[in-house]
């Protein structure tokens, strides 16, 4: 009989996340990848500003709390001074795709050998549900109370597609964590993103389509369904950039 | 004579940083400090160091934050508008109690301003340009030799007190060449058990952080930090006293303004006016005590600044307004001439004797 | 004794280089020196100048507003700085590029066809050093360690440049006009 255990790369601190929030699952997947690659002792994680701001309490490796959007720059500093360490950032959509877009794009185009876990739940969670750069057209939030009006605020940013248009980044994949199959795929992608770094391949980003039942105003179950019905059609899952494939073909 | 080389102030900073064991530089081009970045770009790859031109000043300072968190000597440099962009990161570095060096080779402002020398970032540097309660150790060199010496000193103080230090120069100091004797190589001697260098699974994880949601806890960190600041104010004040022994009037100036003022002091003395100068080398901690003491001796003070008058506020506070304090200033990239300083001294004398 | 020197011309004429060489000359003769360039976009084809101070005392302000010695390589610079020169000062003029004479009568003016001399000798970019040679001769500044100073500003990897710079300096030094 397999006993369900907490990954060693997580501390015993209980998560503060809302009921039904998928941050817990994603934290676990990251920790499992760290355990399986046996890299905890040389890993430094960078926490964002957003719901995962206190991720520094949850991961057992050394952690740095970055300013809003700056995690890729902080991670760049850490990686450049400790090239043999494993450096990852854990960022939400406002952090990575709005205020931190410059840091994200430039870390990608430098093919900075870091791992980015990008949690896209189409909303600002920590501040109570405002419109994110990834909020869907028509999506109702505190700052788009009549629904996201694409005529005035534009269309959502598709981060994986955008980054894959760059030549440099090594690996970009979009996954989801709304059902068992998707969680298993997400695990594979996240582990690969860390494995790439261990092998010195370069910039690896996994976009995780995620839910926010509290700010979406849905039950946890309905939120997971909404991912299937609304999020994934707009944000199709799959590998967007894989230079190992490009290298094979070359 | 020791083997002196002619170096630009900017180059002296860069080489002195390397000699002080700094192997990580992050920056973004801006006049008049770009020589620092160019020098680092040339030298760092040859000595196993890191030079990285960041996508912005904001990114550069956050790269510094990362490296500082890992416990390595690290620096960035910029000029006024770029240093404004760095303020967010500087506040985080202060809040996370990390040592780092930030160089500001000032130019005229506000806004895009100009590219000529200025000292109008005095408030920003000494009063906390970013948000929250914090201080920077601010060193104001007045010669290329001091640019080199103060760079080494800044790294040392930053580590000793676990806080960011700033070298506050200006376009003239950055661009001018003078003979310089480079400091001996040094390195960090401070243990950094707090650094995020990987747990090796041998210790509890370290966290570099400035977030405290519990206000009591945040308050405690603020009070602790200010206790440290008090120690610095007691122990680390640096200044130069020039011809003050018998002075009846005291010029207060730093950096390039002090160079100009030195000529004026000598010209005044040649005309029989007993003038001396106190040159703050640390702008924070400000040499309050020596100025308070000078107020017992002299009849008046003249603050000479390349700004609309910023340091003069600290001068008035330090002397408790016990003597007249005049301002001799140029702004926007202009530099007062020794004659202008001399005129201002004569006016000061006139008022004090009236 | 303090000598304040201003060297001015167009960007690209080697004004800053000549000044650096002179500053080294002062340094190697055991003096205190400073060198301060104009900087910014004007470096590219606009006017460029640099202030050099050579002194027995520590240098105060590095800015030269009223030069004891003025060396000019274009007309705008002569127009701008002629009246700023101290009475009794010396003005060195590239007479190939500046047609007019100095109007002041209380300064010593030296006219050297530096650009023509440099062109004729086959080192057209070294008019600055021809003019500098004459200035060193007339002022004595750094003249005793000219070669050593040159070695400080010319890369050791480019020894051929050393020789040609030296030639240019000497031609100016020996010029009697």
- pLDDT: which is higher, A3 or C67: C67
Q: Hey, is B75 helix, strand or coil? A: strand
| Mean pLDDT of all residues in A67-71 | 98
pLDDT 10s digits, C93-106: 999 999 999 999 99
Tell me the three state secondary structure of residue C12.
Answer: coil
Domain membership of residue A5 (yes or no) is no
Q: What percent of chain C is modeled with pLDDT above 70?
A: 96
Overall average pLDDT of the A175-185 stretch: 98
The answer to the question of residue A193 being in a domain is yes
- The predicted-structure confidence for C14-72, as pLDDT tens digits, reads as follows 999 999 999 999 999 999 999 999 886 655 557 899 999 999 999 999 999 999 999 99
**Does the beta carbon of B310 lie under 8 angstroms from any beta carbon of chain C?**
no
Topology of domain C2-173, CATH: Pyruvate-ferredoxin Oxidoreductase; domain 3 (3.40.920)
What's the pLDDT score for residue A2? 77
* Percent of chain B whose predicted confidence (pLDDT) is above 90: 97
Residues B11-32 pLDDT 10s:
999 999 999 999 999 999 999 9
Q: How many structural domains does chain A have? A: 1
Query: Would you call C112 helix, strand, or coil by DSSP?
Result: strand
Contacts 24+ apart (CB under 8 A), B295-298: B295/B319, B295/B320, B295/B322, B295/B323, B297/B244, B297/B247, B297/B250, B298/B247, B298/B248, B298/B249, B298/B250, B298/B323
pLDDT for C41 equals 60
* In the block, residue with structure tokens 């989801």: A176
**CB nearest to B54's CB, from A54, A73, A81:** A73
Question: Where do the domains of chain B lie, and which CATH numbers do they carry?
Answer: 5-235 (3.40.50.970), 240-353 (3.40.50.920)
The chain-wide mean pLDDT, for chain A, equals 97
Q: pLDDT for B40-75, tens place per residue?
A: 999 999 999 999 999 999 999 999 999 999 999 999
Residue C42's pLDDT is what? 53
Distance of CA A244 to the CA centre of its chain: 21
pLDDT (mean) for B87-109: 98
pLDDT score recorded for residue B1: 42
User: Average pLDDT for residues A68-90, to the nearest whole number?
Assistant: 98
In terms of CA atoms, which chain A residue is nearest residue B199?
A41
Q: C152 vs chain B: nearest CA distance in angstroms?
A: 9
pLDDT of C155 above 90: no
For B177, the closest of C23, C61, C63 (CB atoms) is C23
Contacts of B337 in chain C (CB under 8 A): 61, 63, 65
Q: Could you tell me if residue A9 is inside a domain?
A: no
Distance between CA B79 and CA B28 in Å, rounded? 10
Query: Which pLDDT value is given to residue A138?
Result: 97
Summarize the confidence of residues B306-323 as an average pLDDT. 97
Is A65 close to B211, i.e. CB distance below 8 A?
yes
User: Is the CB of C35 less than 8 angstroms away from the CB of B337?
Assistant: no
Q: Which two tokens stand for residue A200?
A: 């010195």
Query: Residue A81 belongs to a domain with what CATH number?
Result: 3.40.50.970
Q: Which two tokens stand for residue A124?
A: 């600002």
HSE, CB side, 13 Å, CA atoms: give it for residue B199: 21
Q: In which band, very low, low, confident or very high, does the pLDDT at A107 lie, cut at 50, 70 and 90?
A: very high
Q: Which domain holds residue A233?
A: 23-249
Please tell me the pTM assigned to this model: 0.95
- Report phi then psi at B138, rounded to 5: -120, 115
The Cα of B114 is separated from the nearest Cα of chain A by a number of Å equal to 26
pLDDT class of A16 with cuts at 50, 70, 90: very high
- Asked whether the predicted pLDDT for residue A13 surpasses 80, the reply is yes
**pLDDT tens per residue, range B119-153:** 999 999 999 899 999 999 999 999 999 999 999 99
Q: What tokens appear for A133 in the block?
A: 């750069």
Among A43, A64, A77, the residue with its CB nearest the CB of B64 is A77
Residue A230 counted as domain residue: yes
| Paired sense of beta strands C69-72 and C47-55, if any | unpaired
Cis ω on the peptide bond leading into residue B110 (within 30° of 0)?
Answer: yes
Per-residue pLDDT at A143 exceeds 80: yes
Answer whether C27 sits within 8 Å of B4, measured CB to CB: yes
Q: What is the ipTM of this complex?
A: 0.93
Compute the distance between CA of residue B208 and CA of residue C67 in angstroms, rounded to an integer: 55
Q: Across residues B276-304, what is the average pLDDT?
A: 98
pLDDT of A1 above 80 = no
């Amino acid at each position: 009989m397999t006993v369900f255990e907490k990954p060693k790369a997580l501390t015993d601190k209980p998560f503060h996340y809302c009921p039904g929030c998928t941050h817990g699952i994603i934290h676990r997947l990251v920790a499992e990848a760290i355990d399986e690659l046996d890299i905890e002792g040389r890993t430094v994680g960078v926490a964002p500003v957003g719901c995962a701001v206190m991720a520094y309490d949850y991961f057992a490796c050394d952690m740095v709390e970055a300013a809003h959007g700056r995690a890729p720059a902080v991670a760049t500093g850490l990686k450049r001074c400790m090239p043999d360490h494993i450096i990852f950032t854990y960022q939400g959509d406002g952090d990575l795709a709005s205020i931190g877009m410059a840091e994200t794009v430039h870390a990608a185009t430098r093919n900075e050998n870091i791992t980015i876990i990008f949690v896209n739940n189409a909303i600002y969670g920590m501040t109570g549900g405002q419109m994110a750069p990834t909020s869907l057209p028509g999506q109702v939030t505190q700052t788009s109370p009549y629904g996201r009006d694409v005529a005035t605020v534009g269309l959502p940013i598709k981060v994986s597609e955008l980054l894959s248009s760059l030549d440099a980044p090594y690996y970009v994949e979009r996954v989801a964590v709304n059902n068992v199959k998707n969680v298993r795929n997400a695990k594979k992608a996240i582990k690969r993103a860390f494995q790439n770094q261990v092998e010195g391949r370069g910039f690896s980003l996994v976009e995780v389509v995620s839910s926010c039942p509290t700010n979406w105003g849905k039950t946890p179950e309905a939120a997971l369904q909404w991912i299937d019905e609304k999020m994934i059609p707009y944000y199709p899952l799959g590998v967007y950039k894989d230079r190992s494939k490009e290298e094979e073909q070359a | 004579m020791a083997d002196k080389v002619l170096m630009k102030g900017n180059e002296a900073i860069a080489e002195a940083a390397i000699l002080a064991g700094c192997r990580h530089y992050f920056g973004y081009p801006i006049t008049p400090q770009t020589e620092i970045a160019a020098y680092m770009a040339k030298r760092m790859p040859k000595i196993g160091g890191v030079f990285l031109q960041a996508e912005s000043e904001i990114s550069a300072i956050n790269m510094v934050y990362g490296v500082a968190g890992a416990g390595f000597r690290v620096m960035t440099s910029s000029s006024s508008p770029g240093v404004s962009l760095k303020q967010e990161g500087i506040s985080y570095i202060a809040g996370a109690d990390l040592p780092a060096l930030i160089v500001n080779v000032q130019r005229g402002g506000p806004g895009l301003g100009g590219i000529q020398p200025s000292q109008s970032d005095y408030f920003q540097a000494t009063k906390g340009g970013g948000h929250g309660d914090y201080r920077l150790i601010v060193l104001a060199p007045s010669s290329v030799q001091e640019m080199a010496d103060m760079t080494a000193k800044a790294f040392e103080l930053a580590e000793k007190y676990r806080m960011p230090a700033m070298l506050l120069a200006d376009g003239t100091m950055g661009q001018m060449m003078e003979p310089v004797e480079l400091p001996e190589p040094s390195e960090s001697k401070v243990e950094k058990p707090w650094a995020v260098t990987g747990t090796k699974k041998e210790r509890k994880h370290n966290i570099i952080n400035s977030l405290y949601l519990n206000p009591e806890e945040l308050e405690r960190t603020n009070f602790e930090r200010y206790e440290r600041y008090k120690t610095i104010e007691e122990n680390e004040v640096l200044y130069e006293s020039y011809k003050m022994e018998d002075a009846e009037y005291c010029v207060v100036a730093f950096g390039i303004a002090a160079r100009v003022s030195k000529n004026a002091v000598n010209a005044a003395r040649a005309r029989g006016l007993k003038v001396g100068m106190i040159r703050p080398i640390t702008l924070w901690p400000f040499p309050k005590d020596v100025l308070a003491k000078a107020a017992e001796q002299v009849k008046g003070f003249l603050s000479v600044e390349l700004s609309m008058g910023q340091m003069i506020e600290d001068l008035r506070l330090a002397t408790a307004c016990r003597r007249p304090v005049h301002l001799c200033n140029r702004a926007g990239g202009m530099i007062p001439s020794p004659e202008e300083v001399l005129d201002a001294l004569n006016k000061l004398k006139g008022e004090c004797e009236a | 004794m303090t000598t304040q020197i201003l060297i001015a011309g167009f960007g690209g004429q080697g004004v800053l280089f000549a000044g650096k060489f002179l500053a080294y000359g002062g340094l190697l003769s055991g003096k205190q020196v400073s060198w301060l360039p104009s900087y910014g976009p004007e470096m590219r084809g606009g006017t460029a100048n640099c202030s050099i101070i050579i002194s027995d005392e520590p240098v105060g302000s590095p800015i030269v507003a009223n030069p004891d010695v003025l060396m000019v390589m274009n007309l705008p610079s002569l127009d701008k700085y002629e009246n700023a020169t101290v009475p009794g000062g010396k003005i060195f003029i590239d007479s190939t590029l500046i047609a007019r004479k100095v109007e002041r009568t209380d300064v010593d003016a030296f006219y050297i066809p530096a650009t023509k001399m440099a062109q004729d000798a086959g080192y057209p970019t070294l008019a600055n050093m021809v003019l500098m040679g004459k200035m060193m001769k007339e002022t004595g500044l750094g003249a005793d360690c000219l070669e050593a100073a040159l070695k400080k500003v010319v890369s050791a990897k480019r020894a051929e440049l050393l020789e040609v710079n030296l030639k240019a300096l000497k031609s100016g030094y020996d010029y009697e006009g």
